[in-house]
Amino acid sequence: MPWVITKLCLDCKDTECAEVCPVDCIYEIQVEDENFPKNMLYIHPAECIDCAACEPACPWQAIFEDSQVPAIFNADIELNAKVFEVHPPEDFTTEVTPISKNPTPEQIAANKAKWGYA
């Protein structure tokens, strides 16, 4: 899996990453599942072409190359892959809905602190 969206996206979901993705491999889950939060985005590992366009587009700094995911977010690597194994395609959409766009530097820092990533 080339790129991973971490929990830094949870409840902050900006959609810039999905807007720049040339292959539409960034999804939002549309069904309730306590194991996979709805208020974040996921990158489909089999569809990602490793172009890296999503990473700089994410204002929340929530996207990492799989080999560069900070240890505190290692569980998110499996989360991104597993969601697509557990749910059928009809449970997802590429028409993602933002929660918070254009965060301030202070909001980004506060979100990182919330997750213990400073």
pLDDT attached to residue 91: 97
| Token pair recorded at residue 115 | 């997750």
Decide: 23 and 48 in contact? Cβ < 8 Å: yes
φ, ψ dihedrals at 24, nearest 5°: 50, 50
pLDDT of residue 1: 56
CA atoms within 13 A on the CB side of 116: 4
Q: What is the pLDDT of residues 25-78, one digit of tens each?
A: 999 999 999 999 999 999 999 999 999 999 999 999 999 999 999 999 999 999
Which of 26-30, 41-45, 97-101, 110-114 has the weakest average pLDDT? 97-101
pLDDT reported for residue 118: 78
Domains detected in the chain? 3-114 (3.30.70.20)
Report the SS3 class of residue 40: coil
* Structure tokens given for 112: 């990182």
Residue located via tokens 């990602």 = 48
In the chain the beta strands, taken as DSSP E runs, fall at: 3-5, 26-29, 41-43, 63-65, 92-93
Q: For the purposes of burial, counting CB atoms within 10 Å of the CB of 12, is it exposed (0-12), middle (13-18) or buried (19 or more)? A: buried
